[in-house]
A and B are shown apart, each in its own frame.
Chain A
Amino acid sequence: MKSANFARFKLAAIIIIIIVDILAAISYFKPSKSELLGHIPPDLISEAGNKYSEVYNNYFVFNIARGRDVKTARSATFIGFVGQVIPADEGVASAFSDVFLWLPALLDGAKITILLTITAVLAGLVLSIFLALGKIAKTKIISGFCSAYIFFFRGSPLLMQLFFIYYGLPQINPSLTINNKFMAAFFAFTLNTGAYCAEIIRAAIQSIDKGQFEASRVLGLTYAQTMRLVIIPQSIRRLIPPVANEFIMILKDASLVSIIALADLTHVTRSISSSANNVMVYIPAMIIYLIITAVFSAIFVRLEKRFSLYQ
């Protein structure tokens, strides 16, 4: 019994290490601040307010989109900044040769997408346990509140929820302003996925045989102990497939954040596509989405196998 717990910790640790490794590998491609600034004309740096992220997004992404070396791109850059479009004169074949130039920026966007999905789903899961237990609670006020919450966040579009949090809250009260786009997206996605996961958890708990509750009660376990020791551990295996599904949905819905200009994979793809006037960038971008989806699906399948050992 001790070793089973230990195996679970080990698995969790391995997954975290894999994720950290992926993120580290991705960030390896991103030039450091000094490296980047060294390549950029001084007047441009001041223009961008010397903000690393802005310089990076406006200048570096633009130039790799053009398929040019950063050092030699000065004139093209100015054209880009005043919004002119230079038609691509090369064919499709050479357009694809730009993939390696696009890749660092695309992977950088993927990092945001993955980070947003993981953090929002994890936080959403914590939130959803309370919502699920609240919804099946006997106290009418608690169950009513949780039902209403779940109904609202499942019943209205995620994009609207995101807009409301990012643009709406500051107008209600300036103290509610969330300046960081990532944080705004994180809140919106957490609140939303929390509602979906709550329904998943509620269904899993209610699918547990009534006899398990009765056996626990007859043995003298309290409600909290019954949940913690008997019901939730058994629900976990049943939770994994639908939570995996929700995770993949959120991963794809994360592309909505491109609308508030958070530099996720979709947003980076769009900026490369428009500044390079080359729609081919959508193909490697979608392949990256598929790879991420496949990797996480595989992780979830392994998790499910781990938790089904006793069945």
Chain B
Amino acid sequence: MSLIRTENIYKNFNEIQVLADVSISVEQGEVICIIGPSGAGKSTFLRSLIQLEKITSGKLYIDEELFLHRENNITQYRIESVKYKSLLLEMGMVFQSFNLFPHKTALENIMMAPINVKNMPKPQAEALGAELLAKVGLAEKADAYPARLSGGQQQRVAIARALAMEPKIMLFDEPTSALDPELVGEVLNVMRGLAESGMTMLVVTHEMGFAREAADRVLFMSDGAITEEGSPELIFSNPNNQRTRQFLNTVLGI
């Protein structure tokens, strides 16, 4: 069963086409890495899934239910509002720039959404927060404000914050690109653990090592379209597409 499916998604920013006919399907438990050159539309695609951007045209299915259908910037169909909210919450997102709430401690950052969105009682949210902090290896940082944490620690708190809403699928938009090289590993380790625990993940990344070992499938995106897709072995050792080969040569320095 697919958790998320897109059909012919297009996105224009004032006449400039950023996504062109993107159709993908994400199965339960799958880890998909999206790679591709900067400006290819990878972020825009993730943001379109979680409704931070309005698609120009196309269909989006969540849990096999038609969630949104738009044509030429006009909404043809949108699932009713209660369902809309609950299906949207099946996605969690982690940003390149962490976006933690700077005026809240690590624990409070995690507790905020469960308390205010799910009406979870505070003691329960606190227990959940502590558990998730332990899971990302930051149990002792519960009372630290984000400014006191390293980039890697902040990103791990951000992952815990997203997990607190118990999403079925996690979207990662270059989660390690803003980090100093020595801090990348700790975040990737958390993500690896998450993948092993069976979480469905859609990861935009430039970490080819991570993509090669953790991904079930790799999508190569360029000029707003998915131009190649396949198993990591296939993409990394024997890409068909000339663009893919060029890109891998550049990033892997081959």
Contacts and interface: CB of A to CB of B under 8 A. Distances in A.
Interface of A: 1, 209, 211-212, 214-215, 217-221, 225, 229-230, 233-234, 310-311
B88 A220 contact: yes
B50 A225 contact: no
A220 B113 contact: yes
Given A212-B99, A234-B102, A310-B103, 18 more contacts: A1-B104, A1-B105, A1-B107, A209-B99, A211-B95, A215-B158, A218-B50, A218-B93, A218-B162, A219-B165, A220-B88, A220-B165, A229-B112, A233-B103, A234-B101, A234-B103, A311-B102, A311-B147
B95 A219 contact: no
Contacts of A1: 104-105, 107-108
Interface string B81-118: 00001001101110101011111110110001100110
A62 B49 CA distance: 76
Contacts of B116: 221, 225, 229
Interface in B154-170: 158, 161-162, 165
A247 B158 CA distance: 39
B117 A221 contact: yes
B61 interface: no
Given A214-B52, A310-B147, A220 B85 contact: yes
B145 to A, nearest CB: 4
Nearest to A219: B113
A307 to B, nearest CB: 9
Given A211-B99, A218-B50, A229-B112, A310 B145 contact: yes
A47 to B, nearest CB: 61
A62 B197 CA distance: 86
A107 B97 CA distance: 54
26 contacts: A1-B104, A1-B105, A209-B99, A211-B95, A211-B99, A214-B95, A214-B99, A215-B158, A218-B50, A218-B92, A218-B93, A219-B112, A219-B113, A219-B117, A220-B85, A220-B89, A220-B113, A221-B116, A225-B116, A230-B101, A234-B101, A234-B102, A310-B103, A310-B145, A311-B102, A311-B147
A215 B52 CA distance: 10
Q: Which of A218, A225, A311 has the most CB of B within 10 A?
A: A218
Contacts of A219: 112-113, 117, 161-162, 165
A73 B113 CA distance: 72
Contact of B99 (A215, A225, A233, A310): A215
A214 B93 CA distance: 10
B199 to A, nearest CB: 16
Contacts of A214: 52, 95, 99
A83 to B, nearest CB: 61
- The 8 residue pairs across chains A and B that have the minimum distance between CB atoms: A211-B99, A215-B99, A219-B113, A220-B117, A310-B145, A218-B93, A233-B103, A220-B89
A274 to B, nearest CB: 53
Nearest to B146: A310
B227 to A, nearest CB: 28
Q: Which of B52, B88, B99, B103 has the most CB of A within 10 A?
A: B103
A98 B48 CA distance: 76
Given A221-B117, A229-B112, A211 B97 contact: yes
A174 B162 CA distance: 60
B85 to A, nearest CB: 7
Contacts of B162: 218-219
B52 A218 contact: yes
Contacts of B52: 214, 217-218
Nearest to B92: A218
Contacts of B108: 1
Nearest to B85: A220
Nearest to A234: B103
Contacts of A225: 116-117
Contact of B101 (A215, A220, A311): A215
Contact of A215 (B85, B89, B95, B147): B95
